[in-house]
Structure 1
Amino acid sequence: MRSLACAISTPTARPKRYEHIYLNDNFYAWQCLDGVEKGLADVDRCHYVQVAEDLYLFVWREKIIPTLGVILIDLQQMRTDGKIMGYQGSDFGALSNFPVGASAKILNVTRHQE
């Protein structure tokens, strides 16, 4: 599945848009289309669990800044909500823990033949 996440912003924050491509059960690719990380992209390890119909718990680990993200993806409401936790930049003595959330849009679904 390929999706577009538009981060929930405040009047003082720049809008952020990310494209996510869920490659398989263990990896997803992302790229930032707008915001402070515009132009950055990576492939990271991930796991997901179906909690209910159209509701998934999605967990990922980032390599560039060692963090762990946990979100609920609600495909009925087309929203995500969660947290990112980890180290603050390259300072392994300082921790970061903040909420994240976005509106979501499914761009397409690719089915591979077996």
Structure 2
Amino acid sequence: MSLNLLDTSNWLPLDGLAPGFDANKAPLVQDLSGQQFIVHAKGDPMTFRFDDDEVQWTAAGHAGSAPYEAFLVAEQLYYAQWHSVAEPELAISLVLDLTNGTALYIGARLGQPTPSSVAVQHDFRPGTLDRFTTGIPMAESTGLIGRRVEWVYSESHAYEHIYLSPTWYTWQCLAGPERGLADTDSNTVYQVRPGIFVFTWREKVIPCGSVTIADHRDVNAIRSHGSLFGWDESGTQPVHFTFGAHGRLISMTHHRTDLDPAL
């Protein structure tokens, strides 16, 4: 008997997805090692100090030291990701644009879903770096709306995303253990540079959320870096891992101006 895909109790837990999902993850870099960054955003200044293996940070009411991973997104543009040791229900993403002097802190807080809220909540804090005075903070964007993109995470994992509105996107699994599953979930998008976007989503069926950054400048060779954070199958232990994907634009939807969800 075939699996009833409409029965969400059959859906794969986050820890079941992890094996092999990170095959297309980009090489890690240590370019941030030995550097300290002070980010001015809402609230008190945030401080991040990197060595070869760990980051020490004070940000958004949190502080600690943890192993981190860093990826080079484009020239002088970095994405760093770590899971708090002191607060296991907190994962942090930091985007650093060392050319424009801007940064984006995203704190992912893992809790229990309710009928009116999802398990992961994201705290977005765009700001400027201490040694710059003219950087324009990264801002929310509608630049992805209307795009349909195919993403390949490994030889056996592939999905498509359809970016619907400032609030929603639809995903469908094309290959892998979730093949045939699809849903529409909430998202938030920030433009980092022209053609480069931070895309985050928060799932309602599987208790997890994701932070990704993707370079869409070449629509036939899109590159993304990201992390997933959520509960394991038991709902008691946080699961956190990083991944990467290669993408391409499949199609573009153009709405009539008065019906355009981006406006």
Instruction: Give the TM-score taking structure 2 as reference length.
Output: 0.40
Match of 2:225 among 81, 87, 96: 81
Structure 2 counterpart SS, 1:111: coil
Query: Which residue of 1 is the match for residue 168 of structure 2?
Result: 27
Deviations 1:55-93 (A, max 9, x none): 00111001111111000011135111010001113x221
Give the secondary-structure state (helix, strand or coil) at the position aligned to 1:73: strand
Q: Which runs of 5+ in 2 are unaligned?
A: 1-146, 259-263
Matched, 1:4 2:128: no
| CA–CA separation in structure 2 for the residues paired with 1:92 and 1:19 | 27
Higher strand share: 1
| RMSD of aligned alpha carbons | 1.1
Report the Cα offset of residue 51 of structure 1.
0.5
1:109 aligns with 2:252: yes
Q: Which one scores higher on RCO, CA 8 angstroms, separation ≥ 6? A: 1
SS of corresponding position for 1:92? coil
Q: 2: CA distance between counterparts of 1:93 and 1:6?
A: 30
Identity, % of aligned positions: 36
1:32-111 to 2 correspondences below 5 Å:
32-76=173-217, 78-89=222-233, 91-111=234-254
* Inter-partner Cα distance in structure 2 for 1:18 and 1:93: 27
C-alpha displacement at 1:20, in angstroms?
A: 0.7
Normalised to the residue count of structure 1, the TM-score between the two structures is 0.90
Tell me the number of residue pairs that the alignment of Structure 1 and Structure 2 aligns. 108
**Among candidates 140, 149, 157, match of residue 16 of structure 1:** 157
Separation in 2, partners of 1:35, 1:86: 19
